[in-house]
Structure 1
Amino acid sequence: MSGLVQEAHPSAILELENVHTHIGEYHILQGVNLSVPRGGLTVLLGRNGAGKTTTLRTIMGLWQASQGSIHFHGQAIQNRATPEIARKGIAYVPESMAIFSDLTVKENLHLAARNGPMDPARLEWIFNFFPALKKFWNYPAGNLSGGQKQMVAIARAIIEPRQLLLVDEPTKGLAPAIIESLIAAFNDLKKNQTSILLVEQNFNFVRHLGDTVAIMDDGRIVHAGRMQDLAENEELQQKLLGLSLSSHQ
């Protein structure tokens, strides 16, 4: 199934067509075709080294595609600089979280609010999901726990309305209570028509949250479809992922 091409969909907010990415001498992405529906959550699955993080970084312009096209709202962005891509309404939460450890939680969010002062109503909306941020508002972000730092990273990405979120492994190492808060936050974002492309290995998390799913192997998309169909088909799970989602509940 390598080289699978997804059909273009008129409601897609983001589309990758035959995207190749080279990093030094390594050919990481080898013809990625991916469509992210508008207002839904798409999960990108695959083993370590399959190219998932490279896909997110290529969309964001942190690594340049050597071939192919990336369209956001129908406009080509594959040759745009990262700041320009961000200004179009795309936010990226890397696995490393990339927060400013020496700055307070407040200062981290203030820097992310590029369009002016933080909206108090939106800030309270974020506190509703991540109350620890309010508690540690004036603490250096570097002093927070791993889960709290992840809250800061996600809050930075959504402190202003974004059209598309790219999120890499948000639940890695997090306590179940924090994961429940993430589920609530992502569901609320979807209700407000924020599209999300999520790389994740917590299968129970994505099973209940994802609308569509794409599976990568060796730098290509080898399967794309509805998350519900994959979650209900253990034979397909074993074939594509080598495991059963039911064993990860």
Structure 2
Amino acid sequence: MAEAPAAPAAPILSLDGVQTHIGPYHILHGVSFAVPRGGVTMLLGRNGAGKTTTLRTIMNLWQASEGRIVFDGADITRRGTPAIAQAGIAYVPENMSVFSELTVAENMRLAARSGAIDGQRLDWVFRMFPALKIFWHQRAGVLSGGQKQMLSVARAIIEPRKLLIVDEPTKGLAPAIIQNMITVFRELKQTDVSILLVEQNFHMAKSVGDAVAVMDDGRVVHTGTMAALAGDESLQQRLLGLSLAAHQ
């Protein structure tokens, strides 16, 4: 008798009916989607669709007014932000969260939970971001925009994490730096970390994305594979108002 197929693994993160109000404004209107374990899940949508609010709500920087957020089997909807980070989620906001007056080395040590950086892991980070080794003893404020973004991502991965949440890592970056980011995220996909990535550069989205959720007006209006979305120009036009082919 043939064995029954194994049940699919539970998602690393799921949102169910999440609503968020910011002051008098109702921003998220029942957001529901799941982030599978492993690989990269893209969260796409037009400007103002609610993507950043969704990420900030996951981290409880803005509290959900309704709904449920489950991470690695545990309800984190009402947990404080430090406890969520301690559970294994690293968050990289779009504003390049680095301490400009501190050196690159000091920025990295602050991101390490014990203050001490594992040498092997640091070598791995340097291999992905060689500029950080060059500027190791320089103040982070002297770095270019692309180098600051590299430092932001490096800070998030200097410790092993279960989930990496990144908001627009290529925003404002030169094409060569974007290509470097694509290489980095492809390498990160080979590790144990799952990734939730908001990105406006559709070449980046197509290059690294596995699953996708598309938002519009504070709601998730489409979920599926990134490959299927990348191969359907009419769906891209309907959901995003543009064609990925124009962003190669």
Structure 2: how far apart are the matches of 1:138 and 1:240?
Answer: 45
**Runs of 4+ that moved beyond 6 A:** none
Partner of 1:161, secondary structure, is coil
Quote the Cα distance in structure 1 between the aligned partners of 2:50 and 2:27: 6
CA distance in 2, matches of 1:107, 1:193: 26
1:188 to 2:210 alignment: no
Alignment of structure 1 residues 34-183 onto 2, 5 Å: 34-183=33-182
- Output aligned runs, 1:225-240, within 5 Å: 225-240=224-239
Cα deviation 1:177-196 (Å, max 9, x = unaligned)? 22222122212221112100
d(CA) in 2 for partners of 1:190, 1:129: 13
Contact 2:9–2:37 (CA<8 Å) still a contact in 1?
no
CA distance in 2, matches of 1:44, 1:90: 17
Cα RMSD (Å): 0.9
Percentage of matched positions with identical amino acids: 65
Q: Describe the SS at the equivalent of 2:156.
A: helix
* Residues 185-239 of structure 1: CA deviation (Å, up to 9, x unaligned): 2122211121000000000111011001111001000000000000000111111
How big is the shift at 1:143?
Answer: 1.1
Shift of 1:176: 2.1
Query: Structure 2 CA distance, aligned partners of 1:140 and 1:28?
Result: 37
SS for the counterpart of 2:170 is: coil
What are the superposed Cα offsets for residues 99-126 of structure 1, whole Å, 9 maximum, x if unpaired? 1010000000000001341011111111
1:150 partner letter: Q
Q: For the residues of structure 1 that align with 2:133 and 2:177, how far apart are their CA atoms?
A: 15
Write the distance in 1 (CA, Å) between the matches of 2:201 and 2:20. Answer: 26
TM-score (norm 2): 0.95
Cα offsets for 1:141-174 (capped at 9, x unmatched): 0111000000110000000111101100000111
| Unpaired stretches in structure 2, ≥5 consecutive residues | 1-7
- Higher mean Cα deviation, 189-198 or 65-74? 189-198
Q: How many residues align?
A: 241
Q: 2-side partners of 1:42 and 1:158: how far apart?
A: 17
Q: Give the TM-score taking structure 1 as reference length.
A: 0.95
